Amino acid sequence: MGFLLIGLFVVMWVLQAYLSIRQAKHYRVQMNELRQQSSGYLGVGVHKKRFSVGSVVMITTNLEGIITQAKGMTGVTVFARFKLIPDLIGMHVNECDKNYSDKPEDSAITMAIQKLKAEKETKEKAYIKSDVTNRDDNKLEFQVT
């Protein structure tokens, strides 16, 4: 009887590890799919508590801040998969920056949008810094590219 319980535990542990690896692979595939966008920004938000429903949201925008793709995964088990969030597509990031409820997906959306804005700000600062050159006469010149 004891060997049967140990064997069952080992089988369940191996199955859980296999399903976790499959979910991680699915996450990487979805992330790479969203990264293929030629220009714009990508933000990922995560809401996870120890013993409750977790949520991951990936959002891409164009350079103007219009959401071009939004996918979310919400669930407790390794069987959760990413699904499109059609309500967000076409909206400007400033229009959906509010956390409307206590749902895990809404919290993850808020975090993804915050990361989008931070990425945009970082890239804009780097762009401005790279386009400004210091001339010999200590005047700043902006280069138009």
| Structure confidence at residue 121 (pLDDT) | 85
Copy the structure tokens of residue 117: 């804005």
| Structure confidence at residue 54 (pLDDT) | 85
* Contact criterion met (CB below 8 Å) for 54 and 127: no
Per-residue model confidence as pLDDT tens for the chain (145 residues)? 788 899 999 999 999 999 889 988 988 998 888 888 777 899 999 888 777 788 899 999 998 889 999 999 888 777 788 899 998 999 998 887 665 567 878 888 989 999 988 888 888 777 776 665 544 445 444 454 4
Closest among 75, 37, 70, 41 to 55, alpha carbons compared? 75
| Structure confidence at residue 136 (pLDDT) | 45
The label of the residue with tokens 């997906």 reads 105
| Structure confidence at residue 9 (pLDDT) | 93
**DSSP class of 127:** H
* CATH number corresponding to 2-130: 3.90.1010
- Number of Cβ within 10 Å of residue 107's Cβ equals 19
| Structure confidence at residue 137 (pLDDT) | 47
| Structure confidence at residue 131 (pLDDT) | 60
pTM: 0.73
Rounded to whole angstroms, the Cα distance separating 71 from 108 reads 11
- Number of Cβ within 10 Å of residue 125's Cβ equals 10
Q: Where are the domains of the chain?
A: 2-130
Q: Which residue type is seen at 31?
A: M
| Structure confidence at residue 95 (pLDDT) | 84
